[in-house]
Amino acid sequence: MCGRAAQPSSVAAVCDRRFSIVLLALVVSAFSAPTATAGERSVTADKANGTYRDVEGKSEIKILALGHGKLKVQLALVYEYQSGGGPMANLGDASSKATIENDIAVFVPEEAGDCKITMAFLPNGKLKVEQQGEECGFGHNVRADGTFWKISNRKPKFDDA
């Protein structure tokens, strides 16, 4: 223990130095620790607004920032396959409001069962989408999972408007 009462001055100096080093380490780490404030990582309306398509160009997501941590989202998803009669496709459509915090949006389709869709806004207009649950109301084998690229920065027009 570093008490000053019965300590020689060299021991007290060592204790003072240890205390100073510990204090300095705490102060430096407090100021250099990464912090995620709403302004630093939040997706702006300009970054979120637009139309996104998957790599095949068949499935599409439209997003419009509404403010106050809300987005309007519309999905038009396609699963193509070959049948005995030729090419076929199953479809999945959903629209609802999503909540967004920092760069992650959570979308729960209206009247869906255990479905939750998470959308991560990435640099260069990428949107990483992950679907949790199977009861999204989509057609057979239709899923929202994948990476989508922004094809338009314009405010999207929705089918219900």
Model confidence over 45-104: pLDDT tens digits? 889 999 999 999 999 999 999 999 999 999 999 999 999 999 999 999 999 999 999 999
* CA–CA separation, 43 and 69 (whole Å): 10
**Exposure class string for 86-96: b at 16+ Cβ within 10 A, else e:** eeeeeebebbb
* CA–CA separation, 40 and 102 (whole Å): 8
Is the pLDDT at 38 greater than 80? The verdict is: no
pLDDT in tens, 131-144: 999 889 999 999 99
- Would you state the pLDDT for residue 161? 54
Cross-strand pairs, 89: 80
> For residue 118, what are its two tokens?
């998470």
Radius of gyration of the chain (CA): 26
